[in-house]
């Protein structure tokens, strides 16, 4: 990744978190519950009340990726 894009991504992420300050607390709490076999569900509801729903089941490889991401911070 281009270093300038990485800096821009960091800045955009910080702005997003400033707009939604409870999100990091949610992810921190949720990560304490995530292990192999956990199902993560994402639901989006538009202003017109259109719903899109998806889920994924965490596998062992996903958990190894999460552990590596934790080390990057």
Burial class (CB in 10 A: 0-12, 13-18, 19+), 63: middle
pLDDT in tens, 27-65: 889 988 999 999 999 999 999 999 999 999 999 999 999
pLDDT value of residue 58: 96
Give the pLDDT band of residue 69 (cuts 50, 70, 90). confident
* pLDDT of amino acid 73: 64
Q: The whole model's pTM is what?
A: 0.72
């Amino acid at each position: 990744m281009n270093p300038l894009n990485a800096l821009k991504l960091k800045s955009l992420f910080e702005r997003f978190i400033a707009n939604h300050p409870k999100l990091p607390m949610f992810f921190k709490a949720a990560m304490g519950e995530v292990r192999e076999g956990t199902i993560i569900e994402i639901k989006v509801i538009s202003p017109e009340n259109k719903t899109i729903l998806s889920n994924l089941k965490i596998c062992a490889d996903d958990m190894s990726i999460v552990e590596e991401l934790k080390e990057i911070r």
